[in-house]
Structure formats: structure tokens, C-alpha cells
Structure 1
Amino acid sequence: MPTDLDALTRRIRAFATERDWERYHSPKNLAMALSGEAGELIEQFQWLTEEQSAALPPDKHEAVRQEMADVFIYLLRLADRLGIDLMQAAEDKIDLNEQKYPVEQVRGSAKKYDED
């Protein structure tokens, strides 16, 4: 079992290559599949209360786990196809968010940075 992002990306790439699915894994198709899987993840929480969503029963928890894995796999595959280093992209985005949302201005507030 892979223990780092690069190893997992290689395993996912090999999975697609062995099945001759590369031709179907265009960025457009992968983004659409990612969106579909995100929808399936959201569906697991539909109509639950805040409390219910935080204390899922084992079967629902497993369903959420599976859908999260699908989202993650498609995201890694899309990044691989586009040559995007997700770890670096996430670090860069956090840096931007730290500038956009200074602690002293946003602590405890759910407002977006451009809302008064």
C-alpha cells in the first residue's frame, strides 16, 4: 500500500494504463468525473442535521469513506494528467489564503474577505 502521494499517483496511473483507459482520462473527463464523485459524497450528507453529519453510523461512515476516496483518486489523476504538483499547489494556496484572511481580521467570522 502506498504511503506517499507520489507512490499513490503512480499506482493510480498504472491502474489506468493497465486497463488502456489513458485515452478516456482527458482533463475534461477527469474533472467531470471528479464533480460527479463530489456529488455522490454530498449526497451522503443530504438531509442530515449538523449533529447527524458529525456522528455517522458505521455503514454511512464507510459510504462517506468510499466517496472521499473516489474524489481523491480523480483529483490525483487529474493533477497527474496536467502535471500539477498538488502538494505544492496546496502550500501555495494556503500562503494566498493566509494573506487574504489575516487572523486578526477574520478570527471567529464566517464572512468572506470581501464582505463588510
Structure 2
Amino acid sequence: MTDAQTTLQELKERMAQFVRERDWEQYHTPKNLSMSIAIEAAELMEHFQWLTVEQSKNLSPEALQDIGEELADIVIYSLSLSNFLGLDLSEVVLAKMEKNIRKYPKDKVRGKAHKYTYYQDRNQESGDRGQDKSEP
């Protein structure tokens, strides 16, 4: 199955079944799952820790396999956490994307990598909350 063939709901259901069949609901609490996501994210970062930017863009098939497994662990724990909390991942992801669209207007941030507060600070300094006067 590919991304194009699989829904988030199907993944969530498979994760719930996996956990249920192993009687792991007792361990899959928000605290434990959020910690597991952070731990797996750190394990993902380990694969890139000492690489140059260029090396990180040109990974071997073996490295991609290992990185894919770490990324899968993050997604798996995220699915389980969303199951526990009753969150609809599509809803929360799309809502967050809409929020990010507002926080990072494309005409202001294109090609820039500042945190959204940078643009708020610029607006306040210029006395205009709508548009940054120092930007072209």
C-alpha cells in the first residue's frame, strides 16, 4: 500500500488493532506516547548529526531505510496518541496549516527562514500591524 492508496483512518485503525492485540493500551498514555515521539525524533536526528547539508541530501539506500524506520516510529506513536486523544489528524493538520498560512504570509516570508515572531516584531516597530514597511 502506498500513500496514495492508504487513508489516515486506515493507519489509525491498524495502529489501534496492533495496540489492542498486545494489551498495550495501559502503556499508551499521552505522557508515554509524547515522550516516545520525542525519543524517536532524537533517534531520527542522530542519522543526520555529523553530516554536512550536502551529505544529508544524498543518502545511501541503507541510510534511507534506517531513516524511514525512525520516521515510521514517529508516525506510529503519533497515530496512537491521536487515537487515545480522539483527535482527527486530518482536521488538526489542516487547521494547523491554515494557521501557518496566516503566521507566514507568502509575500513576506518567501525565501526567508525566520520564526513568525520576527515578522510580528517588524510590524510593531514600523507602527503598522498589517504590513512590514521595511520589506519590498
The TM tier, using the shorter chain, reads over 0.9
- Which one of the candidate residues 54, 61, 72 is aligned to 1:69? 72
Larger Rg belongs to: 2
Runs of 4+ in 1 over 2 A off after TM superposition: none
1:113 aligns with 2:116: yes
- Which one of the candidate residues 86, 96, 99 is aligned to 1:93? 96
Inter-partner Cα distance in structure 1 for 2:25 and 2:84: 9
Per the TM alignment, residue 43 of structure 1 is displaced from its structure 2 partner at its CA by: 0.6
- Which one of the candidate residues 47, 51, 54 is aligned to 2:50? 47
What TM-score do you get using the length of structure 1 for normalisation? 0.95
Greater length-normalized contact order (CA 8 Å, ≥ 6 residues apart): 1
What TM-score do you get using the length of structure 2 for normalisation? 0.81
Inter-partner Cα distance in structure 2 for 1:18 and 1:27: 19
Inter-partner Cα distance in structure 2 for 1:78 and 1:29: 9
Inter-partner Cα distance in structure 1 for 2:116 and 2:10: 37
Number of matched pairs: 116
1:27 aligns with 2:54: no
Consecutive unaligned residues of structure 1, counting only runs of 5 or more, are none
The percentage of counterpart residues that share the same residue type is: 47
- Structure richer in helix, relative to its length: 1
